[in-house]
Structure 1
Amino acid sequence: MTITSESSHITRQRPRVEGDREDEILEATVMVLSELGYDRLTMDAVASAAKASKATLYRRWTTKAELVVDAVSRAKGCQPRSADTGTLRGDLLAMSCGEGGFTDDVPMSVMAALVTALHRDADLQQAFERIFLAPRIALVNEIYARAVARGEIGADVDVELLATALPAVMVHQSFVLNRKPDDAMIHRVIDNLILPAARGSRES
């Protein structure tokens, strides 16, 4: 019942930029990404926006993909969060609603800037899986493991499948229907799709 990722291994961290400069560079990266999109973003553009040298960027990040995904992963509103509320429903809502959740403007606008490039840029896809997705997959695994330990759901629940349901609906709402996701939609997906499927595994 554990989600796995081929790119979830830990790699050796390159030297960090001193002081607050790293945060400033990452903030500049998110700003440039939002303005230009991934394809038009360059290390030169980020260096200029951050008032840093391109050499400084390359000492810390090997590729544009690593810089962008690191910036996105650590941006305010994009960092994974969870809470042990005592129920699967409560945990899923805590992870999905509010700051950093699917209704937050920052994660969805960032995804809009990346979603097309993810399909055709192998470096970006690998960095996204390793840096952005892996910590979130770990949180989802913890949430469902606690639900199994509490006896809410069976140990055979297909976490990998269920974990994609809510993001898929939110992406469909945002990018296909052009509707801003809201808490009501999150509640509907969790209550009518995810929880019945998860609890059904216990009864089968």
Structure 2
Amino acid sequence: MADGAASRRSRFTPEREAVLYAAVFDLLCEVGYDSLTMDAVATRTRTSKATLYRQWGGKAELVVGALRHAKPGSVAGVDTGSLRSDLYGLLLNEDDSAREQRSALMRGLAVATHRFPDLGQAFRELIVDPEMDDFRRVLRRAVDRGEVSADNPALDYVAHMLIGAFAACVLVYDQPPTHAFLHSYLDAVVLPVLGV
């Protein structure tokens, strides 16, 4: 799916694609995934519905494309030379207000991925799987630099710890984690268990 979606999207200029993704992101925030329609996207962006389907294949791929575009940075783009700085760069790359808005949207989409299998599949293929591959490379670089022992059993659970921090804040405090929380969580939990 990912290769086909990428080749279909190539007909839009990067500027036009950015405008379209911004409109999709705005609609998601306004009405949620369930109520977002290709008709609404077409109207808001002055694009034909047929063009949207031809370029993205469906609502799920278009929404996930918008999420990827709105994401405040890429795991692949972080390589500071130390695992500590890489993790800070990954987790502290947006302000608390933007993180709060994104967190609310992601909670709604997480529920939608269970109700709409095509959204779940697109989300895994276009966001989760590539990001996990990139995240493993970040950890591999730390092992190669000698910062983390290759046989450290926590290496397989770093992503789980980080996702858990976000989920726990929402469940316990009813808000996404702040910069201060994430910074202290990295220093108190993640980095020590890795021996950094």
The structure-2 alpha-carbon separation of the partners of 1:189 and 1:132, relative to structure 1 and needing over 3 Å to count, comes to same
More helix, by proportion: 2
Letter in 1 for 2:173: L
1:36 equivalent in structure 2: 31
In the comparison of the two structures, how many residue pairs are matched? Answer: 191
Structure 2 equivalent of residue 164 of structure 1: 160
Matching residue of 2:131: 136
How far residue 178 of structure 1 moved from its aligned partner, in angstroms, is: 1.4
Match of 2:8 among 11, 14, 19: 14
Task: Structure 1: state its 5+ residue gaps.
Answer: 1-8
Letter in 2 for 1:161: Y
Q: Distance in 2 between matches of 1:95 and 1:15?
A: 27
The alignment partner of 1:195 has SS state of helix
Amino acid at match of 1:16: S
Alignment partner, residue 6 of structure 1? none
8 A Cα contact 1:96 1:186, kept in partner: yes
TM-score norm. by structure 2 comes to 0.85
More displaced stretch, 129-138 vs 23-32: 129-138
Name the SS for the 2:86 alignment partner: helix
**Displacement of 1:84:** 2.4
Is the counterpart of residue 91 in structure 1 residue 86 in structure 2?
Answer: yes
Corresponding letter in the other structure for 1:168: G
SS in 2 for 1:119: helix
Which amino acid is the alignment partner of residue 20 of structure 2? Answer: I
Of the structure 1 ranges 58-67 and 172-181, higher mean CA displacement relative to structure 2 is found in 172-181
Q: 1:185 to 1:102 in 2, by over 3 A?
A: farther
Amino acid at match of 1:113: G
- Percent identical pairs in the alignment equals 36
Mapped to 2, the partners of 1:120 and 1:69 lie a distance apart of: 15
In the TM superposition, 1:1-204 aligns within 5 A as 10-12=2-4, 13-19=7-13, 20-75=15-70, 77-81=71-75, 82-99=77-94, 104-157=99-152, 158-174=154-170, 177-199=173-195
The unaligned stretches of length 5 or more in structure 2 are none
Q: Is the CA contact 1:32–1:49 (under 8 Å) kept in the aligned structure 2? A: no
What RMSD in Å do the two structures reach over aligned CA positions?
2.5
